Amino acid sequence: MSKERIKISDDLYDIMPSDYQDLVKSATYGKEDRGWKDIGNSKELIEQHSLCAGCPESMAFRYILASLPNPEDTVMVGSTGCTSLVFPMVAVHNIHSLFGNQNAIASGLKRALSVRFPGRTKDVVVLAGDGATVDIGLDMTLQAWFRQEKFTTICFDNELYANTGGQESGLMQKGFVAKMAPVGKLFDKVRLPEIARESGCHYVVQCTVSKPSLIEKVVRNAVMISREIGPTYLQLYTPCILEIGKNSMEGLQEMRDSEKPTERFAYKEYVSEPAKQLLAEIAAKDKEKKAAAKQLASQGA
Amino acid sequence: MADTHSVIGTKNKKGQTFTDTWKMMNEAPRTPSFYTGSEVIKEALRRASCDVMIAYPITPQSEAAALIGELFAEGYIGDYFRGESEFAVMSQCAGAAFGGARVFTTTAGPGTMRAMENFPMWSGARLPIQMIVTCRGINSPLSIQPDTLEIAYLLNTGMLVWHAETAQDFFDWILKGYMVSEEPDVHLPLALCCDGFFVTHTKDVVNLTPTDMCLPPYDPYRSPVPCMDMECPPVRMMRDPFIMKSNYISYATHASWQQEVWAAVERSRKHTIKWLNGLIETENTDAEVIIVASGTAVSQGREAIRLLEDEGIRCGLVKVKVLRPWPGEEIREATKNAKHIVVPEFNVTGWLAKEIKATIPDSDRVNAGPHVCGGMTMPPEIIASEIKTLLGMRTMSLAGRGS
């Protein structure tokens, strides 16, 4: 899709919702160096959402949508949960179908887009909660990786089932007392990042969403690598402040506390050899481009 | 993107000519060929301009699913792979259809049941996927044998449901099925059912269309819902996800959408009548006794009618080809003179008889049975015997239980 496609006929302009008019005027479709710094300067690809006040998931959504390298040709796949309250307000095509089948949907979708648009880039990005990714959908999460499906899987890890009211999930910490874990969870947090690496993911990152610049970097890397090489996985801590007894203002601090080097969300990264090579090539090209731009600027001056 | 009609007369990469489907199915020469049902599925797919096929092994559809893999290797199918379970496969089919592909898959029995959550989602998302169901037993103890019980579960999913009797039906209906399914005022998935083994694993003479002709490609923009490929504006469908809320507008949205899905099933009626030459076929509907059946029970019914003719008893026949949309009007008309309506079925619950009873006046005319299930065959003699009993005639005991 080009930005041409979202233009409004002059005759209909005044009856279109103002957020759509804004999208046409100042969204960042097609902007090569788009990133988190566009937030505040341009129309975001997410409109008002109905998540709880202060929910870190809403921050994560905004950073991810600002960082997609190719939103004009990206289709997102969601699943049931809090994320499904947000997707209707997202200005890239997105699919919700069932709970837990997101990586199966994405497998079929990516292949269909490859058949229909040979030679064109169409990115597919899955974004689902930890219940969808690790519990009910684990089979399809892993099988998509085994098959080396070329899309990115992002898991919003809030360590429980938030939308249904705070039940135990596989990514919950051991010992945490929750609904359906009345005496505390009896087994360890599932180590999906390690499983992802062993299952064939070429780029795996676990981190919190406390730093927008970091999210921009890992989202771009994940999408570029999945486009060229194979599956990638991001596990992002987006604490459910409601269910862990925090206030609206405390989400950011919760993430900062949990990402300290000794804590469970300390930054972890795995990059396969071919992915390393690709990232090096992209970095070299960026450097070249910047140097050329600098030269052009100095000539102009 | 080439649209459906502008490519007619041009060739695909395999050298097949995209052909007007009506001409291909009704006017092009046919070659008689001796094939198994599974091979016939492959031959239909060769001509179907299918973009994506997703496979999973389960008897008795495994052979067909693997043969379509060979077609992919030959370059006739855009993409093909084995999924990890039927639930996943049906979701993968959904993903491919959301992305604008013409999609095909096959399943059977327990696989149909495992995948069941997907089917109302397919209908609700208006995905014109075609799924072959080679019916087999679904209940414990384990059985791989023919049994049509799974069709009962598909009837309320919002899918179109057709029930083929022969391999010839199968060949024609796979190709015609896409034409009905993909109409913009329908745009619904099709469950094309047959009785496993009886149709899939037996050889029959089937008249095939020329191999160098194929269906026009699917045009995903002739659709009542946007294709998820970012080739049209990503309009926010809702300012607020009200459909997830417990309030009147949420209920009203869901209610109107469900009604629309079933209205689309109804709208498929006119297209189905055109392509299949009616939802039912009838013979001798002025007879006192009429057999109403679907699938291979129709073939057994025909044999029973022949046996009874030898004894001077005249019976009529209604072959129910299409179960959704339900041919209520047609069945009422065809059975209006019948004193006895006999419904032989390959399942234990008699779902077809229940549907018919709910459709016609004086439903005590309906004789639900004979039933066989769990893989048993249905000898025409037991149908004939049931009819003679209904007519108050003496019959021989067929299965001696010492009585």
- Among the partner residues A92, A93, A108, nearest to B92 by beta-carbon distance: A108
Across the interface, which of A1, A75, A91 has its CB nearest the CB of B236?
A91
In this structure, are B185 and B99 located in the same domain? Answer: yes
Return the amino acid letter for B106.
T
Q: Which of A253 and B255 is assigned the larger pLDDT?
A: A253
For residue B244, the model assigns a pLDDT of 66
CA distance, residue B199 to nearest chain A CA (Å):
29
> Residue B251 falls within a domain, yes or no?
no
Helices A56-67 & A251-258 angle (0-180, nearest 10): 80
The answer to the question of residue B259 being in a domain is no
Mean pLDDT of B259-283: 98
- Over chain B, what is the mean pLDDT? 93
Does the residue B308 lie in any domain?
A: yes
Q: Which residue of B has its CA nearest to A118?
A: B78
Chain A nearest CA to B305, separation (Å): 47
Size of interface A-B (CB pairs under 8 A): 155
Pairwise CB contact (< 8 Å): B228 & A75: yes
Cβ separation B81–A111 shorter than 8 A: yes
Label residue B397 by pLDDT band (50, 70, 90). low
Residues from B contacting A (CB-CB < 8 Å) are 1, 51-52, 54, 78-79, 81, 83-85, 87-89, 91-101, 103, 117-118, 121, 125, 226, 228-241, 244
Confidence of residue B142 (pLDDT cuts 50, 70, 90): confident
Q: Are residues B24 and B121 in the same domain?
A: yes
Same domain flag for B202 and B288: no
Please report residues of B whose CB lies closer than 8 A to that of A128. Answer: none
Residues 6+ apart with CB under 8 A from B77: B45, B50, B51, B52, B53, B68, B71
Which residues neighbour A206 within 8 Å (Cβ) at sequence distance 6 or greater? Answer: A193, A234, A235, A236, A237, A265, A267, A268, A269
Percentage of chain B exceeding pLDDT 90:
84
Asked which of A36-45, A178-187, B225-234, B378-387 is least confident by mean pLDDT, the reply is B225-234
Q: In the prediction, which pLDDT does B1 show?
A: 46
Across the range B7-11, mean pLDDT stands at 96
Structurally, chain B folds into a number of domains equal to 2
Pick from B126, B69, B125, B78: which is nearest to B103 by CA? B78
- Chain A residues in contact with B228 by the CB 8 A cut-off are 75, 93-95, 109
pLDDT of residue B246: 73
CB contact under 8 A, B85 and A147: no
> What is d(CA A82, CA B101) in angstroms, rounded to the nearest whole number?
29
Q: Which residues of A touch B235 (CB under 8 A)?
A: 20
Nearest residue, CB atoms, B94 vs list A47, A93, A108: A108
The closest of B132, B283, B139 to B195, measured between CA atoms, is B132
Of the pLDDT bands very low, low, confident and very high (cuts 50, 70, 90), residue B345 is very high
Q: Which of A1, A108, A140 sits opposite B96 (nearest CB)?
A: A108
Do B170 and B303 have their domain in common? no
Partner residue facing A143 (CB), from B54, B84, B244: B84
| ipTM value for the complex | 0.94
Q: Are residues B22 and B171 in the same domain?
A: yes
Residue of B nearest to A104 (CA): B92
* Helix-strand-coil split of chain A, %, nearest 5: 45, 15, 40
CB B276 within 8 A of CB B138: no
B165 and B287 inside one domain:
no
The beta strands (E) that lie in B77-129 are given as: 79-82, 103-107
Would you say residue B235 lies in a domain?
no
- Residue B339 in this model has a pLDDT that exceeds 80: yes
Mean pLDDT of B31-42: 96
Question: Is residue B274 in a domain?
Answer: no
- pLDDT per residue of chain A (301 residues) written in tens, 0 to 9: 667 778 899 999 999 888 888 988 999 999 999 999 999 999 999 988 889 999 999 999 999 999 999 999 999 999 999 998 888 889 999 999 999 999 999 999 999 999 999 999 999 999 999 999 999 999 999 999 999 999 999 999 999 999 999 999 999 999 999 999 999 999 999 999 999 999 999 999 999 999 999 999 999 999 999 999 999 999 999 999 999 999 999 999 999 999 999 999 999 999 999 999 999 999 999 999 999 989 988 887 5
Q: How far is B15 from chain A (nearest CA, A)?
A: 18
A98 and B235 within 8 Å at the Cβ level: the answer is: no
Boundary (domain end) residue, out of B181, B214, B247 = B214
Question: Cα(A76)–Cα(A105) distance, rounded to whole angstroms?
Answer: 10
How close is the nearest chain A Cα to the Cα of B250, in Å? 14
Q: Which one of A85, A116, A147 has the shortest CB-CB distance to B100?
A: A116
Please report the beta strands in B27-78, taking only residues with DSSP state E, as ranges in sequence order.
31-36, 52-55
- For domain A34-300, give its CATH number from 3.30.300.30, 3.40.50.261, 3.40.50.970, 3.20.20.70: 3.40.50.970
The last residue of a domain, from among B157, B184, B214: B214
pLDDT by residue (tens digit) across B145-196?
999 999 999 999 999 999 999 999 999 999 999 999 999 999 999 999 999 9
**Is A143 within 8 Å of B233 when comparing Cβ atoms?**
no
Contact at CB, A107 and B228, closer than 8 angstroms: no
In a domain, B328, yes or no: yes
* Residue among A293, A69, A227, A93 at smallest CA distance from B237: A93
Residue B239 has pLDDT above 50, yes or no: no
Per CB-CB distance under 8 Å, the chain B contacts of A97 are: 91, 94, 98, 118, 121, 125
Question: What does chain B come to in residues?
Answer: 403
Give the residue on B whose Cα is nearest the Cα of A124: B229
pLDDT reported for residue B207: 98
Specify the DSSP class assigned to residue B377: -
End-to-end alpha-carbon separation of chain A, Å? 36
Q: Residue B169 is part of which domain span? A: 17-214
Q: Compute how many other C-beta atoms are within 10 angstroms of the C-beta atom of residue B124.
A: 18
